[in-house]
Structure 1
Amino acid sequence: MQPRTTTPASPELMKAINTLYKESHSAGVPAATLELVHLRASQINGCSVCVDSGARSARKNGETDDRLFAVAAWRETSYFTDAERAALALAEAATRLADRADAVPDEIWDAAAKHYTEPQLGALVLWIATTNFFNRINATTRQMAPQTWG
């Protein structure tokens, strides 16, 4: 499968993307949580570019391989805090909107609200949406993770 070429992003678009990034990372949600949420949504969407870059970024920022390897099975491990689990559940629900009639049920929202303030919840939702935005661009244009070994 070959990547599709696209028109380069304009400077205005890059400013908007940077604003989304800064806003979602400035509300006090732990960076590790944002990295995990990005990785999980990208796994669900099959975005190899974001899975690769997300895992590499998380590792560079101190995340352990054990936790990175277990993100897809976060419910079945003891590696994640209750707050991280609530954020991961929110990421899954908000990424899989069509999978249920009530896309993000109260139980998922309420669990996240126990661990995060209103601004932090807003930042989580914005980061999940931003991740899904990039996943969809990359999937549509068939972007692939770089082929590096070692």
Structure 2
Amino acid sequence: MKVRFNHISANPGAMQTMLKLEGFIQTSGLDSRLYELIKLRASQINGCAYCLDMHTRESRKMGETEQRIHLLHAWREAPFYSEKERAVLELTEAVTRISEQGVPQDLYERVRTHIDEAEYVTIIMAINTINAWNRIAISTGMFPETETR
């Protein structure tokens, strides 16, 4: 495997923009373990090996269990996620696959039983950000152990 090019040196301004998005989410008050679940689930859907590797390691550092990491792709059938996490994971799937059915009203209402409007927007931004990272990594040929991000 070979990285196509170093996207950071090719366009530093783009990287700075992505880091500003990350900074917003990091200072928003969003639970960092929930953010890692969002990152992992979107990366699973998008097939981004680079991001899956990175965020699996980050989740472990934060104390996430191996069981929850391994069963994330089957979260609906696993009893190890809270109702809020389930709602956010479902929202992550809907936003990541937005062209399939958008975000149905019943999903929006389920999510809103756990979070207010401000956190809803933050979570949407978190989902958008990891989807952007996935697309950057995949498009530039990044893979686990690549040292360009």
TM-score normalised by the chain length of structure 1: 0.89
Of 14-23 and 112-121, the range deviating more from structure 2: 14-23
* Partner Cα distance (2:23, 2:92) in 1: 19
Amino acid at match of 1:76: E
Mapped pair 1:131 → 2:130: yes
Q: Greater CA deviation, 76-85 or 112-121?
A: 112-121
Q: Which residue of 1 aligns with 2:118?
A: 119
Partner of 1:20: 21
Q: Which runs of 5+ in 2 are unaligned?
A: none
Output the amino acid matched with 1:23: F
Unaligned runs of 5+ in 1: none
Q: Counterpart of 1:124 in structure 2: which amino acid?
A: I
Q: Give the match for residue 50 of structure 1.
A: 51
2:105 maps to 106
Query: Which whole-Å CA distance do the structure 2 matches of 1:3 and 1:23 have between them?
Result: 28
Q: Moved runs in structure 1, 4+ residues, more than 4 A?
A: none
**Paired AA for residue 5 in structure 1:** F
Residues matched between the structures, number: 145
Quick one: distance in 2 between partners of 1:19 and 1:68?
27
Equivalent in the alignment of 1:73: 74
Fraction of identical pairs, as percent? 35
1:96 equivalent in alignment to 2:97: yes
Deviations 1:95-138 (A, max 9, x none): 011222xx111111111111112221111100100100011111
TM-score norm. by structure 2 comes to 0.89
1:145 matched to 2:118? The reply is: no
CA distance in 2 between counterparts of 1:6 and 1:21 reads 20
For 2:4, the equivalent position in structure 1 comes to: 4
Report if the CA contact (8 A) 1:34-1:127 is conserved. Answer: yes
Aligned residue identity for 1:105: P
Partner of 2:36: 35
Q: Report SS of the residue matched to 2:113.
A: helix
- Asked if structure 2 preserves the Cα contact closer than 8 Å seen for 1:93 and 1:104, the reply is yes
Matched, 1:87 2:77: no
Cα separation, 2, equivalents of 1:49 and 1:20: 19
CA root-mean-square deviation: 1.7
In 2, distance between residues paired with 1:23 and 1:133? 15
